[in-house]
Structure 1
Amino acid sequence: MHDQRPSGRQLFDALQPADLATRVADEVLDAIGDGRLRPGDKVADARLAKELGISRAPVREGLRLLESQGLIVSHPRRGFFVHSYDADELKEVYDLRECLELHAAEAAMSRMTPADLDRLAAQVKLLHDLATEGQTQEQVVQDFAFHRMLCELGGNSRILRLFDQIAAEMRAGIALVGQLYSDPSEIARTHDPIIDALRARDVDRLREELREHLQDAQIHVVRLFRTGALNPARTEDLSEAERRLILR
C-alpha cells in the first residue's frame, strides 16, 4: 500500500539528540495509535528522518525496534510498513490478553488498597469525561491505562511486561477500528461493572465481568476482520450494533 497523503503535509515534529532510536520508535508508535499511520502504510525512513530533523541511521534503528515488537514489517528493496493484522492474529492477541488480565485481576483483588480502588475508579471517570468531550483517541489510550493498572496491581512484573507488548499491538489494530465506534460513552460504561466488582471484593463477579468485557471485543472485532467488514470502503455496511461493539 502506498502512502497517499499529500506530500507537503508533515507528520512529525523535529527531535533533539538523546536516545534517538527509542524516541523515533515512540513517535511512530504514537502515529500508529492515533491513526496518522494506518495498517499497511509505508513508513519512508528518509521522509521520517527529514521531518524529525535527524539522520536516517537512528530512524532505521527505531523502526527495527518496532519490527522486533511486530508493529513494523520490512521488505527488501521496498522498505518499512505498518504491520497489517489479520483476524487470526487479533484473536491470538485477545486470547493472551484475557489470560493475563484475568490472572492479574484476581491477584490484584487480594492486594488492592482503598487508595488503589480510588485510582482505578478515577481512571474510569476519566473515560466518561473523555467520552463527553469527544476525545476518542485519548480515550483509547486511557482505556489501556486502566487495564494496565489492574495488571500492575497484580504484582507480577512479567505479566505487566507482556501486557505492555500486547497493548502496543492492540493500538495498531484499534487505530483502524476506533474511528468506527459511534458511541464513546459506551466504552466508558462497560468498565463500570468491573469497578463495582472490585469495590464489592467479589472475585467471581470480577472474573465474570472482565471476561465478558474482553470476549465481547474479541468476538466482534475478529468477526469483522475475518469478513473484511473493517475495510474503510465498506464501513457503511456495518450495523449500529456492530459499530457499538467494536471497542470494549
Structure 2
Amino acid sequence: MRHTQDTDGFEPLDREGLVQRVVRRLSKAIVSGQLSPGERLSESVVARQLGVSRAPVREAARLLENSGLVTYQPNRGFFVRRFTARELDDLYEFRLVIETAALRRLMRQGLDGTDAALERQIAEMRRVAADGSDMLTQVEADMEFHRLLCHGSENPRFLTVFEQIATETELSIMLIGRLYDDAHRLAETHVPILEALRGGDEAEAVEALRFHIDVARVLVTQQFRDLEDGPSE
C-alpha cells in the first residue's frame, strides 16, 4: 500500500522561517509607526495577534534588538527604541564609511551592470514620487539604491552590515515625517552618484556619495533636534 505524506507534499514551516516572518512583520509595524517609540512589545499580545507561540516572538525581538529597532530592559521586556539626534548622526557617519568602501570596491572591479540596476532604481524612485506613494514606499525605494550599491561591490560583509543599519535609517526618516519637501527631489539626489560612477573617477564618485549622505545626515539630525527641543514659545 502506498503511504501518503502527512503534509500532502508541503514541507512543514521551519522555526527559522517563522522567526524571520515575525521579524518582518514587527519591523514593518515599527517603521510604519504602527508601534511607537517607547512602546512595549508584549510577547503575549504579539503572539496572539500573529497566531504563533511566544517563543518565536521572543527570538524575533532579540534579532530586532541586534538591528537597533528595539531595546531590552531587564525585568520589563522589549521596547521600541527611542532615538536621539546624536545617535542618528552616528548612524549616518557609519553609513558613509560602509558605503564609501563599497563604492570604491565596486569601481575598482568594474560596474558590470550595477550602473544599469542603479539607473532602474532611480526610475523607480521617480515613479513612486509621481504616483504620490506613501512615505514608507519612497524611503524603501531610496534605501534600495544604496543596497544595490553595496551588493554590486560583491563583498557580502558590506551588504550584511548595510542590512543591519538600513531599517534604522528608514525609521529615522519616518519619525521626522519627511526628508525633502518635494518627493521628486529624493530621486534626483541620487543622479550625481550614478553619473560619477559611470564617469570612472573614483574621487568624484566618493565625493558625490559623501555629499548625498551628508545632506541627508544634516536634514535628519536637525529635524530630530527640533523634535527633541519641542515647539518654540
Are 1:191 and 2:177 matched, yes or no? no
Per the TM alignment, residue 176 of structure 1 is displaced from its structure 2 partner at its CA by 0.6
Aligned to 2:213: 214
- Could you tell me how far apart the structure 1 residues matched to 2:70 and 2:166 are? 15
Counterparts of 1:52-131 in structure 2 under 5 Å?
A: 52-113=50-111, 115-131=113-129
- Could you tell me how far apart the structure 2 residues matched to 1:180 and 1:95 are? 17
Aligned to 2:8: none
Aligned to 1:155: 154
Are 1:205 and 2:200 matched, yes or no? no
Q: TM-score, normalised by structure 2?
A: 0.84
Per the TM alignment, residue 78 of structure 1 is displaced from its structure 2 partner at its CA by 3.4
Q: Could you list the structure 1 runs, at least 4 aligned residues long, displaced by more than 4 angstroms after superposition.
A: none
Instruction: Please tell me whether the aligned partners of residues 176 and 223 of structure 2 are also in contact (alpha carbons under 8 angstroms).
Output: no
Per the TM alignment, residue 216 of structure 1 is displaced from its structure 2 partner at its CA by 0.9
Per the TM alignment, residue 116 of structure 1 is displaced from its structure 2 partner at its CA by 2.1
Cα separation, partners in 2 of 1:67 and 1:179, compared to 1, 3 Å: same
Tell which deviates more after alignment, 143-152 or 19-28. Answer: 19-28
Cα separation, partners in 2 of 1:180 and 1:90, compared to 1, 3 Å: closer
Aligned-residue RMSD, C-alpha? 2.2
- Provide the secondary structure at the position in 2 that maps to 1:73: strand
Instruction: Please tell me whether the aligned partners of residues 122 and 145 of structure 2 are also in contact (alpha carbons under 8 angstroms).
Output: yes
Per the TM alignment, residue 179 of structure 1 is displaced from its structure 2 partner at its CA by 4.4
Gaps of 5+ in 2: 1-11
Aligned residue type for 2:206: R
Per the TM alignment, residue 97 of structure 1 is displaced from its structure 2 partner at its CA by 0.6
Per the TM alignment, residue 138 of structure 1 is displaced from its structure 2 partner at its CA by 1.3
Instruction: Please tell me whether the aligned partners of residues 32 and 175 of structure 1 are also in contact (alpha carbons under 8 angstroms).
Output: no
Q: TM-score, normalised by structure 1?
A: 0.80
Are 1:145 and 2:154 matched, yes or no? no
Instruction: Please tell me whether the aligned partners of residues 33 and 174 of structure 1 are also in contact (alpha carbons under 8 angstroms).
Output: no
Identity of aligned residues (%): 38
Tell which deviates more after alignment, 172-181 or 49-58. Answer: 172-181
Cα separation, partners in 2 of 1:226 and 1:105, compared to 1, 3 Å: same
Cα separation, partners in 2 of 1:114 and 1:160, compared to 1, 3 Å: closer
- Could you tell me how far apart the structure 1 residues matched to 2:67 and 2:119 are? 31
Per the TM alignment, residue 225 of structure 1 is displaced from its structure 2 partner at its CA by 2.1
Are 1:37 and 2:49 matched, yes or no? no
Pairs aligned (count):
218
Cα separation, partners in 2 of 1:46 and 1:149, compared to 1, 3 Å: same
Aligned residue type for 2:124: L
Q: Whose Rg is larger?
A: 2
Aligned to 1:177: 176
Gaps of 5+ in 1: 1-15, 238-248
